[in-house]
Amino acid sequence: MPPVRTSSTNHRITKACYRCRHRKSKCDLRFPTCSACQRANVPCVGYDAVEGRERPRSDVAYLEDKVAQLEIELQRLRAEQSVDSSKLVDTAISTLTQSLATTISHPHHPPARALSHSSRTAALARHPLVSLHSPVFLSQSPAPPLHAVAESPLSRPENTRCSTIALIPRHVIDIMLKNYTDIYLPQAPYIEESQLRASCEMVFAQNGATASHFDIFLVAICLAVSATTLIRHDEGRATAAAEEFWNTAKSHLVYINDEQPWQRLRALLMLTHYGFVNPRAVNLVNTIAPAILSYIEPLSSRATPLPQK
């Protein structure tokens, strides 16, 4: 077998440790320490001929040693922690939760850079159960305070048509819902895919006779979001379809029962999701805060009251 070359062009693993290579001495390359390094009582490390630097003799042994060191450090940190640290964390979380819920439900002062839209001032509803069909939510999101006033886009006639989902071919709906669950649901997991599929089954069962208003709203607004991704194929048809699905979802908002908090929360979250796609249809400023409040209030009501000093 020909000898291993030691020139700079040889990128194979060397047959000598880092110290022996630089000392140009013979190395038996015993693991974990060669004889020369063992006699000198120095660490024995390998040599990376590609990068010209030290490297561990064994990556596995090196990583195992690091893991062992980290485990020892973790045990030391756990031992130093106070026994009551978990109680302190629970108390801090409870305090922050109650403070955030109070701030959202009773804001004291508007921000210094608040927008000048009069609609926003009127839309900041203090009552958490404003109707989902209210203009508080179903209005255009406020525009950013730009220094240069951009030209307003050309207005076009409003599309008021609704889509009867049960009359659309089922395979078309399945394709559009798959498009939603593949693209949008991982980005905004406001609902479970199983719940969306169950609502779709209810919509198509007996031509929607057994479907609740929330089922129809959920399927329609997901289809509206999904239709926006089809603009690259046919902008006119995709925009019209998205608007018709949105009109269908909007028409069922008034019937969603506000006494079911989790149903209302999901409706607010889906409105917020559609608002990011079409900010002209939903006021994001007014849907996000009630959604957070609807989630936090049940948590704060179950929180243990803090001891009074």
CA distances in angstroms from 114 to 109, 111, 287, 309, listed in the order given: 10, 5, 17, 37
pLDDT at 84: 58
pLDDT at 102: 60
DSSP secondary structure, 135-173, as one string:
TTTSSPPPPP--SS-PPPPPP---------GGGS-HHHH
Q: How confident is the model at residue 174 (pLDDT cuts 50, 70, 90)?
A: very high
Stretch 182-211: mean pLDDT, rounded? 87
In a domain, 195, yes or no: yes
Look at 102 and 57; give whichever has higher pLDDT.
57
Stretch 180-189: mean pLDDT, rounded? 88
Stretch 279-291: mean pLDDT, rounded? 81
Stretch 48-71: mean pLDDT, rounded? 79
- For 11, the 3-state DSSP assignment is coil
Listed ranges 58-67, 82-91, 192-201; the one with the highest mean pLDDT: 192-201
- For 55, the 3-state DSSP assignment is strand
pTM for the predicted model, two decimal places: 0.52
Task: Tally the residues of the chain.
Answer: 309
Q: Are residues 168 and 265 in the same domain?
A: yes
Domain boundary among the residues 42, 61, 78 is at 78
Q: Are residues 176 and 68 in the same domain?
A: no
Into how many domains does the chain fold? 2
Percent of the chain with pLDDT over 90: 10
E strands of the chain, at which residues?
46-48, 53-55
Q: Out of 24-33, 169-178, 221-230, which region has the weakest mean confidence (pLDDT)?
A: 24-33
Look at 283 and 140; give whichever has higher pLDDT.
283
Residue 306 has pLDDT above 50, yes or no: no
pLDDT at 289: 76
Residue from 168, 265, 157 nearest 226 by CA: 168
In a domain, 138, yes or no: yes
Q: What is the DSSP letter of 5?
A: P
Give the position of tokens 């917020």: 272
In tens, the pLDDT along 118-155 reads 444 344 444 455 666 666 666 666 655 544 444 445 45
pLDDT at 224: 92
Q: What are phi and psi of 150, to 5 degrees?
A: -75, 155
In a domain, 106, yes or no: no
Look at 256 and 125; give whichever has higher pLDDT.
256
Whole-number mean pLDDT of the chain?
Answer: 73
The domain containing residue 16 runs over which residues? 1-78
In a domain, 213, yes or no: yes
Stretch 166-192: mean pLDDT, rounded? 89
Q: Are residues 190 and 281 in the same domain?
A: yes
